[in-house]
Amino acid sequence: MTPPRILLLAGSLRTGSFNRRLAEAAERCIAAAGGDVEHITLRDYPLPIYDADLEEEEGVPETGRRLHARFAEAQGVFIASPEYNAGTPPILKNAIDWVSRVRDQGGQDAAFVRPVFAIASASPGGLGGYRGLMALRQSLTLQLGATVIPQMVSVSRAHEAFEEDGSLKDERSAGFLRTLSARLVKLASAIEPWRD
């Protein structure tokens, strides 16, 4: 069986980002579960803040269309994102908003309805970014029609949560991440035969 293609990204550009570390830990789990991972950074997809006038005049920027293609090619998408003021950080929300405006290339469905999504967060705070995941889940499911795996991983006190090698110190959290990653790979494989 061909391994499912899993796109992986973090909702932070910060050097030393805890969410990128979490994404890297997930990358190892997804690969171990048999997924073919493509780890991208939103740094490579710079986009202006969404502006309807700009879209009217120039259409969706080429970077937004390229990002749409990455989503559309994937059978699974793993997003690790911080919460900003209990919501989705602008870098990630803006990318999702632009991708949702691509009308050809399979449109919104290709990018959001077809892949299976798994979401996770890390924060130095006590809630681990959990509330931001609820906001992200709401956008993906209620508006964009995505299938988002119910289980989520939130890593609190992220500044002290990782080993030197990037693995999670807490075995329970590490286990949750392995389970979520394996579930993503399994569902992404299962979904392929009935994708449009």
Ligand X SMILES: Cc1cc2nc3c(=O)[nH]c(=O)nc-3n(C[C@H](O)[C@H](O)[C@H](O)COP(=O)(O)O)c2cc1C
Which positions lie near ligand X, rule CB under 6 A?
A: 12, 14, 17-19, 82-86, 123-125, 127, 129
Q: Closest distance between ligand X and the C-beta of residue 65, in Å?
A: 26
User: Of 113 and 127, which has the nearer Cβ to ligand X?
Assistant: 127
Minimum Å gap between C-beta 31 and ligand X is 21
Smallest separation, CB 86 to ligand X (Å): 5
Which is nearer to ligand X, 66 or 159 (by Cβ)? Answer: 159
Q: How far is the CB of 126 from ligand X (least distance, A)?
A: 8
Nearer to ligand X, 19 or 100 (CB): 19
Q: Give the DSSP per-residue string, the chain.
A: -PPPEEEEEES---TT-HHHHHHHHHHHHHHHTT-EEEE--GGGS--PPP-HHHHHHH-S-HHHHHHHHHHHH-SEEEEE---BTTB--HHHHHHHHHHTT--STTHHIIIIISSEEEEEEE-SSTTTTHHHHHHHHHIIIIIT--EE-S--EEESSGGGSB-TTS-BSSHHHHHHHHHHHHHHHHHHHHHGGG--
Tokens 């009308």 appear where? 103
Q: How buried is residue 51: exposed, middle or buried, by Cβ count under 10 Å (0-12/13-18/19+)?
A: exposed
- What minimum distance in Å lies between the beta carbon of 106 and ligand X? 30
Measured from the CB of residue 22, what is the shortest distance to ligand X in angstroms? 8
Cβ proximity to ligand X: between 81 and 189 the closer is: 81
Nearest to ligand X of 18, 98 (CB atom): 18
Task: Pick between residue 169 and residue 195 the one whose CB is nearest to ligand X.
Answer: 169
CA dist 105 and 51 (Å) reads 21
